[in-house]
Structures are given as C-alpha cells and as structure tokens.
Amino acid sequence: METYVYGDVILLENLVMNFIILWCTARLLKHKHSYLLLVIAAFIGAIYALGSYFTDLTYLYTPFMKIIFSVLIITVAYLPHHIREFVKLMAVFYITSFVFGGAAFGLFYFLNGLKYISYGTFYIKDFPVKTLGVSIIIAYFVVKFSWDFVQYRIKRERIITEIIIVMDNKKAEIMALVDTGNALNEPITKAPVVVAEYSSIKELLPTDIQEIFEQNNQNDFNIIAHIMSNSELVTRFRVIPFKSLGKDNGMLLGFKPDEVQFVENKKQQNIKNIIIGIYNKKLSNSGEYCALIHPDILNL
C-alpha cells in the first residue's frame, strides 16, 4: 500500500506547531517578542521539517545539524543579546518541544492504542486536530507549572545577596533581600529604588543629611527642603512617594549613588541608574539583611 505525503499539509502543521512552541517559550520566560519574527522562525522550522522527506537531504538531519537549525530558529525568533539569555531560551524551547511531543503522543496512544504498525514500526495516521489541541493545552500548563517551581527554587537560593553602594569614593557593603513586593521607582526618572536602613549607609551621607535622620526629622519636609537647598549634593537627592513600609501614603528621602555593585556567581555587575531610599527603622528584626532590592534590578 502506497502512502502519500502532502507537502502543503506538512508545512502548515509544522508552521502552526513551531509558532505555538516559540510563543509558549517567550511567554514562560516573559521574554519580549515580535509575532512577525516568531512566524519567520516557525516557517524556517517548517521548511526544515518538510526537507526530512527528501532522501537527498539526509545529511541535514544529523543531531549536529538539528542543533544548528535550533540555534538559527532561536536567534531569528528572539534576537538574544547575551549568551546567558540565549542558553535559557534554548533550554526552555527544547523542554517545551519535548513536553508537547510527549503529551501529543501519550494522548493519542491513550485514545487510540497502537493500531498502526507496519513492519514493526509504529506510525500515526490521521492525527485528530482535537487531540493535538488538547495536548497543546496540557503541555503548556505542565511546562508552566514546572518552570514556575524551578524558578521559585532558584529565587529562594538567591533571595539574599550582598550589594556594595558607592558614593564619592566611599563604600557601604550590606546584605539585601530581593523583595518581589518592592516595585518602588523614582517618579521622575523611573529608576528602580533600593530601600536601605539609614544605619547601614550612614557613612555615605553628608553630615547635614545625617542630622535629618539623627534628629528623626525625615518626615518633616520643611526641614529637609531647607537643609537640602544648602547642601552641595542637592542634585543627588530625591523625594520618593511610597505606599508600604507600614504607611499607606508616605515620602522617602533618597539619593543617587555613583553605582551599586552586585556580586553573583563570582561575577560583579555595576549598575548606575539606581536610587537608594533611606529608611530610618529596621527592615529585619533578625538583622539578616538591611536593604530591600527592587526585583527588576537583577535583570538590568
């Protein structure tokens, strides 16, 4: 019995599946993406899948060449800027692909059994569109919940980290908590804010600013305005509104340091566009940390 393969059907099916896998990968990683680039990358993958039916092109389907084409698809789809970003996209792309394939095969086997066997080889005939749709939904949620769990475990290990605040050749080395509830930004520049205890960064501040906190006048903005107007570092300081730290509506005095240094996996990252909000109370009763990091800072 002859078996016919329709190229347009193969191309369309792979185009749709590739697009869904690429879209899910972007969604799971919360990665910015262009639908046009996803379609182009999905089309490249569909052409590659169609080529597997031509015996003259078997040299393009070795494991090495499949990895090369995967690299091409990921590069076209997401335009990654860093190798770390690329590796993460590639890993989730493969995981999503394997889960999609496994879900589709498992669901088909559960509903139909091994009906189609030829010369000892199992093959799928007339794969139902409904089965494909259900398997896509199942695979998406399996990958999503698994990925969220892995991310949660990773975040727990790196939830407290050391940061170094640099200001006029002076440094303050402090432990900081990555706080997902801290979404504080400086209202004008939209720079993320690190909230730090006054006692931990006291030595970075000029004496006139120290007096504000020593006399517990950080909420008296008449005094703050008077002192800051005569300070040499007036352009460095900001007033930041907030709705946390025990108040529904409050104002936080902050300053722009020269830079903040993060050390992660023995690699130092220097961030300049950042504001330090000064908090004149304890952030941790145990003293385990004395600053709260805006979570977006780790992605800068």
- The proportion of the chain whose per-residue pLDDT surpasses 90, expressed as a percent, equals 15
pLDDT digits (tens, 9 = 90+) for 219-273: 666 777 776 666 666 678 888 877 654 555 677 888 899 999 887 656 678 888 8
> Higher confidence at residue 122 or residue 258?
258
Structural domain boundaries in the chain: 7-157, 160-299
CATH architecture of 160-299: Beta Barrel (2.40)
What sign does the CA torsion over 107, 109, 113, 118 have? positive
> Higher confidence at residue 240 or residue 108?
240
What confidence tier does 125 reach under pLDDT thresholds 50, 70, 90? low
- Predicted confidence at residue 59, as pLDDT, reads 86
